[in-house]
Amino acid sequence: MTGELMTSARIRRRLRPAGLQGIAAAGVVLLALAACGSDGGQAGNGTRTVTKTVAPSSATDPGAAPTALTGSWAAHPGQADEVQKKLIAKGYECTKHSDTAADLRLCSKSATYKARDQFEHDRVIGSSIRFLSDSKGTVLLANLQSSEAGRDDPLDEMAGAVLPPSDAAVFSADGATLIWGSVKNGTNTVLKVKGWESTTRYTPEYKPIAMTKEQALPLLQGAKLNCHFTSATAVDNLQGLDCTDPRLKNNDFLDAGDASVSIPDDGRGIDGIGAVVELDYNADLDGTRIRPVGPLLSKAAAALRDPGIKGAVDWAKRHFDGVAHSAYVGQWLVSTELHEGASFKVRITGEQPNLGIVDEGADDRADPSSTD
């Protein structure tokens, strides 16, 4: 995606560029895997509950019926399927999270805008919607994201798939008062059904990595990576490990850039894995230039001995094609992003409670002064 991946504030039609959930700086390639599946038990001294691992599924294979979400919202049976059908018809690709206690889906697409002159790069704008539904298929919560502020078409398109026509028209006109529920704008665009309480909390199934950064170090070194402990990893500015592959130094594909892998661990066990690649500003971001980063990601993922991470990395590598993608792969939220200035990012993170939406108790009305 062009620029830092971010969601668009509709009131001002503009946003301050910001990394998804504040991870990594601009001009890097990022692969951040934050809620990692494993065959083991607790990670380090953490206290997360270990749940069974469910195989990755597509949105066309809904699997077991969810049962956990209840509330006072009006039932709209089959709405999730309707939303997906509308978005697929508009060119979106849809996948489903492996959590069997809820119906959690993601639909995304990207479009390439050609440079207007020799002083610009081609821009790839990626858009995605993650939406949560109850056991009857009623959509309860949606998190809309677009990689370019000020371009409202993707947001209108995604919101229009969820909202009734009258509310969709209000949304497109920058209105914040909906019959269906509420819209909140800021660093993201959030839709919440009427009846979703501030105390309602959905936490996806999550199975952590049963390994610490100290335990991972010899495995990463065995993969011929040079690693060091740091208080601020290159990926997400957290405690952990940063590693490089000396064989990638000064390779032509990097165009004088650099590549590293990050293993975040604040002392409670590994929270994920990430890779950062910074290319020369004038590098072309075609699939050929991106793909050599794949072996670096695979080495780090293999060292953690986690099949879920390996599957997520494999999916990302298959989508090193020069455009933006995002999907659920098992319990992972995976995205590839193109960035202005010839950078590429891949993120693989565990889904957050309530789709990462914070300040649940706050007023849902849009704040006209917000430019976050």
Tell me how far apart the alpha carbons of residues 189 and 142 are, in angstroms, rounded to a whole number. Answer: 8
Same domain? 187 vs 251: no
| 282 located within any domain | yes
Distances (CA, A) of 109 to 95, 126, 255, 265, 364: 12, 6, 29, 32, 27
* Model pLDDT, residue 360: 44
Q: Which of 202, 227, 255 is the last residue of a domain?
A: 202
Same domain? 178 vs 231: no
Q: Which of 143, 169, 202 is the last residue of a domain?
A: 202
Question: Does residue 270 register a pLDDT over 90?
Answer: no
Pick from 33, 98, 27, 39: nearest CA to 297: 33
Same domain? 238 vs 129: no
Torsion of CA 313, 252, 242, 328, to 10 degrees: -20
Same domain? 218 vs 185: no
Question: Does residue 134 register a pLDDT over 70?
Answer: yes
Same domain? 173 vs 70: yes
Segment 327-372, tens digit of pLDDT: 999 998 888 877 665 667 777 778 989 998 875 444 343 333 333 3
Average pLDDT of the residues in 67-76? 84
Sheet holding 332-339, edge to edge: 325-329, 332-339, 343-350
Tell me how far apart the alpha carbons of residues 25 and 279 are, in angstroms, rounded to a whole number. Answer: 13
Segment 226-237, tens digit of pLDDT: 999 999 987 777
Average pLDDT of the residues in 190-216? 90
| 5 located within any domain | no
Q: Which of 202, 232, 256 is the last residue of a domain?
A: 202
Percent of the chain, pLDDT > 70? 66
Segment 165-201, tens digit of pLDDT: 999 999 999 888 999 999 988 768 999 999 998 888 8
Distances (CA, A) of 193 to 57, 129, 142: 26, 15, 9
Same domain? 93 vs 139: yes
Same domain? 188 vs 304: no
Same domain? 230 vs 338: yes
| 85 located within any domain | yes
HEC-encoded secondary structure of the chain: CCCCCCCCCCCCCCCCCCCHHHCCCCCCEECCECCCCCCCCCCCCCCCCCCCCCCCEECCCCCCCCCCCCCCCCCCCCHHHHHHHHHHHCCCEEEECCCCCCEEEEEEEEEEECCCCCCCCCEEEEEEEEEEECCCCCEEEEEEEECCCCCCHHHHHHHHHHCCHHHHHHHHCCCCECCCEEEEECCCEEEEECCCCCCCCCCCCCCCCCCCHHHHHHHHHHCCCEEEEECCCCCCCCCEEEEECHHHCCCHHHCCCEEEEEEECCCCCCCCEEEEEECCCCCCCCHHHHHHHHHHHHHHHHHCCCHHHHHHHHHHHHCCCCCCEEEEECCEEEEEEEECCCEEEEEEEECCHHHHCCCCCCCCCCCCCCCC
| 99 located within any domain | yes
Phi then psi for 96, rounded to 5 degrees?
A: -130, 140
Same domain? 72 vs 40: no
**Number of domains the chain contains:** 2
Q: What range defines the domain where residue 161 resides? A: 58-202
* Model pLDDT, residue 49: 32
Question: Does residue 256 register a pLDDT over 50?
Answer: no
101 compared with 288, residue with greater pLDDT: 101
| 6 located within any domain | no
Judged by average pLDDT, the poorest of 102-111, 251-260, 305-314 is: 251-260
Pick from 72, 128, 111: nearest CA to 347: 128
Owner of token pair 């590549």: 259
Same domain? 323 vs 247: yes
Phi then psi for 251, rounded to 5 degrees?
A: -70, 150
Average pLDDT of the residues in 8-35? 35
* Model pLDDT, residue 257: 56
57: which strand partners?
96
| 2 located within any domain | no
Question: Does residue 45 register a pLDDT over 70?
Answer: no
| 372 located within any domain | no
Same domain? 228 vs 194: no
Tell me how far apart the alpha carbons of residues 242 and 338 are, in angstroms, rounded to a whole number. Answer: 22
Mean pLDDT estimate for the chain: 74
Average pLDDT of the residues in 116-142? 86
Tell me how far apart the alpha carbons of residues 127 and 287 are, in angstroms, rounded to a whole number. Answer: 20
Tell me how far apart the alpha carbons of residues 328 and 330 are, in angstroms, rounded to a whole number. Answer: 6
54 compared with 301, residue with greater pLDDT: 301
Judged by average pLDDT, the poorest of 26-40, 80-94, 278-292, 308-322 is: 26-40
| 345 located within any domain | yes
Same domain? 219 vs 155: no
Owner of token pair 């504030």: 9
Question: Does residue 122 register a pLDDT over 90?
Answer: no
Average pLDDT of the residues in 83-97? 97
